[in-house]
Amino acid sequence: MMKNILIELEKKLKKYGIIISFTGAFTQGIIEEMGDALKTYLNEKKNTKGKVYKIFSIYIELTQNVKNYVYSLDSEEEQEKILTSGVVIIGESGDEYFVSSGNLIRNEDIEPLEEMINKIDNCDEKELKKLYKKRLRQDIKKDAKGAGLGLVDMARKANRNFDYEFNKREDGYSFFTLTVHV
Amino acid sequence: MEQLSREAEKSTPKVICDPKDNYILIKGESYPENSFEFYEPIMDWVEEYMDQVNNENVEVELSLSYLNTSSTKSLMCILDILEEAYQEGKDIKVDWYYDEENELSYEMAQDFMDYLEIPFNLQVKEED
C-alpha cells in the first residue's frame, strides 16, 4: 500500500516539476531548513546568485505572509486551523521556476486581498516601484503586518502576473492559492 | 556607551555597533520571524549613539545579500536615524558592499538611495 502511494506521489511530483513541497504549520525552523535545501539545490543547478536569491525571497515572503496572516487573527483556535492548513511547493516549469503557497482564509478577508492582488497585477515596473516605496513608508508608520509590501515585493521580482484562486468551502473559509513565476 | 554585537545566525545578520571605532556593521542575510524584535535594540543603540556623536567620522558598513520585506522596514528605520544625523551635518559614511553576481543586493541599495539623501558608496565585494 505504502509503495503504491510513493509511486503515485513520485509520478505527480515529476509531472508538475515539483522540487520541494511541504504541508503543515510553517515554523521559522522549518522555513529556514527548507530554504537552505532550496538554495543548495538552485546553486547546484548553476543558477546565478541573483536568481537564487530571487526565488528564495519569494519563498520566504509567501511562507511568512501565511504566518503573518495567522498571527493577525485573534482566536487561537482559528490561528491553529489556518496555520496547519498551509502548503508550499517550489517547482520548475520550462525555463522558469514557480513558488506556490496555499492556506485557508476567512471569507471576509478575501475582498481586500483580491483588491490588492488586482491592483498589483495592473501595475507596470515603474508603478510597482512607486507602490513599494509608498507601502514601505505606510507600513513603518503603522507597524502594519498586512500582506501588502510582501506582495508588491514579489511582483517586482516575478516574471509575470500572479496566478491565484479562492476556493470557497462550506464552513466560512476558502482555500487561497497563490503562485509566483520567477 | 557599550558596544553592541550579534553573531550571524541562519536568518539574522552579523552586527557590530562599536562606539570606540565609530563603526557600524550589518552583514549577511536577514529574514527572521520577527524582525522588529531583532532590530529594535540596534535602532535604540544607533539613536543614542547619534545623539552623542560630534565631529567623529562614522563608518557604516552594510553588506547584505538578502533582506526580507520586514527586515527592509527595520533597516529603513535605522537609515532614517542616520539620515537625520547626516542632515544635521554629522560626518557619516555609508558603504554598501554587494556581490557582483547578486543583482538583488545592488537593487536593494538602489531602492534605499532612491528614498534617502544620505549617499551610499556602492562597493563590489571581493569575497564572502
Q: Name chain B contacts of A54, Cβ cutoff 8 Å.
A: 104
Please report, in angstroms and rounded to a whole number, the separation of the first and last CA atoms in chain B.
30
H helix intervals, B25-90: 35-52, 69-87
Burial of A35 (0-12, 13-18, 19+ CB in 10 A): buried
The domain made up of B20-124 is a member of CATH 3.30.750: yes
Question: Which H or E element spans position A47?
Answer: none
All cell numbers assigned to A100: 506556490
Question: Does pLDDT of A129 surpass 60?
Answer: yes
Compute CA distances B93 → A162, B12, B62, B77, B125, whole Å: 40, 23, 11, 17, 17
Domain spans in chain B, listed from the N-terminal domain onward: 20-124
For residue B30, give every residue at least 6 positions away whose Cβ sits within 8 Å of its Cβ, in sequence order, or none: B11, B12, B13, B38, B64, B66, B67, B68, B71, B75
Q: Does A64 touch chain B (CB under 8 A)?
A: yes
CB contact under 8 A, B36 and A143: yes
* Percent helix / strand / coil, chain A, rounded to 5: 60, 20, 20
B interface with A, Cβ–Cβ below 8 Å: 10-11, 31-33, 36, 65-66, 68-70, 72-73, 76-77, 99, 101-105, 111, 114-115
For B29-78, the pLDDT digits (tens) are: 999 999 999 999 999 999 999 999 998 999 999 999 999 999 999 999 99
For B8-35, the pLDDT digits (tens) are: 999 999 999 999 999 999 999 999 999 9
Q: What is the pLDDT, as a whole number, of residue A139?
A: 83
| B21: helix, strand or coil | coil
CB contact under 8 A, B68 and A61: yes
pTM, 2 dp: 0.94
Q: What is the ipTM for the molecules in this complex?
A: 0.93
CA pair distance A175, A104, nearest whole angstrom:
4
Q: Which CATH architecture has domain A2-181?
A: 2-Layer Sandwich (3.30)
